[in-house]
């Protein structure tokens, strides 16, 4: 069903990377610049991410011996350096996710470039290494983003939804690797509910949410795809939800044929496959011209 399934390492059936976007209070600060400081309960919900959930998530990854990827707004890295240092110390990837979760497609040309550069340099100052990848806050990738990311030396993007397997964004400046996901893999629809953040959903049980994610996993496993959940520590790192995810990681490992890797390793593998001719990606022009 996938026209160009990827030859994953060691004959694996699919690649898996749990990606956590550690947004913490950046989203509250962005939505309510004047009032965020007085929205104490919502702030506490968001701070649960770096303070409680990240150590828990790292414990599970250590238990199973897997390394994964965190996308962190640089403002959050500056505010929660210990969480970022723990991710790096344990061999996980920390990649970029804006400065204070600003939306690139709502910025001017000059502002998008300036905020991208600021987010990359400020994140690097905390993590100690350049970010290999980027996810646009709230998937708000602009018509300029691919070229700006190439200009900044970013290796891959993880904001788009255009395929089941990696693909290339062709721009006048060169080609950027896209590692796609989609909304069904995001934990906001099943778990997010916040009146202050204007997002109200009927909250699902962990099993209900996992039923969708497991269906996606089965399909990717069968056809050679890429399974990338887009999760948030303050949502999926909550106790009952992460307890279930801990169990499900074990189930995936027991199934076999699953390559768990940080996004930067998946990107490096894909680039090797393209270079040695063992795999050909679909190529999409970016930006798309007028219809
Ligand atoms: Zn985010």
CB 49, CB 67: distance < 8 Å: no
**What is the per-residue pLDDT for 287?**
79
Q: How far is the CA of 237 from the centre of ligand 1 (A)?
A: 15
Task: Give me ligand 1 centre to Cα 182, in Å.
Answer: 14
What percentage of the chain's residues is helix, strand, coil (to nearest 5)? 50, 15, 35
Q: Tell me the C-alpha distance between 190 and 44, whole Å.
A: 20
Q: Give distance in angstroms: CA of 214 to centre of ligand 1.
A: 23
pLDDT of the residue at 289: 59
Do 186 and 230 form a contact (C-beta atoms < 8 A)? yes
Q: How far apart are CA 151 and CA 227, in angstroms?
A: 28
CA separation for the pair 98, 133 (Å, rounded): 11
Report pTM. Answer: 0.97
Q: How far is the CA of 207 from the centre of ligand 1 (A)?
A: 24
The pair of structure tokens assigned to 127 is: 């993590």
Q: Are 258 and 66 in contact, with CB atoms under 8 Å apart?
A: no
What's the 279 CA to ligand 1 centre distance in angstroms?
31
- For residue 55, report the distance from its CA to the centre of ligand 1, in Å: 19
R_g of the chain computed on alpha carbons = 18
Distance of CA 282 from the midpoint of ligand 1 (Å) = 27
Cα-to-centroid distance, 255 and ligand 1 (Å): 31
The rounded Å distance from CA 137 to ligand 1 centre is 5
pLDDT at 291: 46
Q: What are phi and psi of 157, to 5 degrees?
A: -115, 150
73 C-alpha to ligand 1 centroid (Å): 8
**238: phi then psi, degrees, rounded to nearest 5:** -60, 155
Q: How far is the CA of 3 from the centre of ligand 1 (A)?
A: 31
| Token pair in block for residue 101 | 């979760």
Q: From the CA of 251, how far away is ligand 1's center (Å)?
A: 28
Q: Is 122 exposed, middle or buried (0-12, 13-18, 19+ CB in 10 A)?
A: middle
Q: Find the length of the chain.
A: 291
- Alpha-carbon distance of 230 to 236, in angstroms, equals 10
Cα of 132 from ligand 1 centre, angstroms: 17
- C-alpha–C-alpha distance, residues 82 and 200, integer Å: 31
pLDDT digit of tens for each residue in the chain (291 aa)? 999 999 999 999 999 999 999 999 999 999 999 999 999 999 999 999 999 999 999 999 999 999 999 999 999 999 999 999 999 999 999 999 999 999 999 999 999 999 999 999 999 999 999 999 999 999 999 999 999 999 999 999 999 999 999 999 999 999 999 999 999 999 999 999 999 999 998 999 999 999 999 999 999 999 999 999 999 999 999 999 999 999 999 999 999 999 999 999 999 999 999 999 999 999 999 877 554
């Amino acid at each position: 069903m996938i026209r160009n399934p990827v030859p994953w390492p060691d004959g694996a059936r699919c690649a898996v990377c749990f990606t956590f976007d550690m947004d913490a209070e950046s989203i509250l600060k962005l939505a309510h610049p004047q009032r965020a400081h007085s929205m104490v309960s919502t702030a506490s919900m968001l701070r649960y991410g770096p303070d409680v959930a990240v150590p828990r998530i790292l414990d599970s990854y250590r238990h199973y011996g897997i390394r994964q990827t965190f996308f962190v707004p640089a403002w959050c890295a500056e505010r929660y350096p210990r969480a970022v240092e723990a991710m790096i110390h344990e061999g996980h990837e920390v990649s970029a996710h804006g400065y204070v979760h600003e939306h690139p497609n709502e910025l001017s040309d000059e502002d998008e470039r300036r905020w991208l550069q600021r987010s990359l340099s400020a994140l690097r100052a905390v993590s100690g290494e350049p970010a290999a990848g980027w996810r646009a806050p709230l998937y708000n990738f602009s018509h300029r983003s691919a070229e700006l990311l190439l200009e900044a030396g970013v290796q891959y993007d993880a904001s788009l939804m255009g395929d089941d397997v990696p693909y290339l964004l062709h721009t006048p400046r060169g080609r950027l690797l896209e590692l796609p996901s989609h909304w069904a893999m995001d934990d906001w629809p099943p778990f997010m509910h916040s009146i202050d953040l204007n997002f109200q959903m009927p909250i699902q049980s962990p099993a209900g949410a996992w039923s969708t994610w497991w269906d996606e996993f089965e399909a990717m496993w069968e056809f050679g795809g890429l399974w990338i959940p887009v999760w948030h520590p303050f949502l999926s790192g909550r106790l009952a939800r992460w307890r279930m995810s801990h169990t499900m990681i074990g189930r995936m490992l027991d199934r076999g044929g699953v390559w768990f890797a940080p996004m930067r390793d998946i990107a490096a593998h894909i680039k090797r496959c393209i270079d040695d001719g063992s795999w050909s990606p679909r190529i999409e022009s970016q930006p798309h011209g007028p219809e």
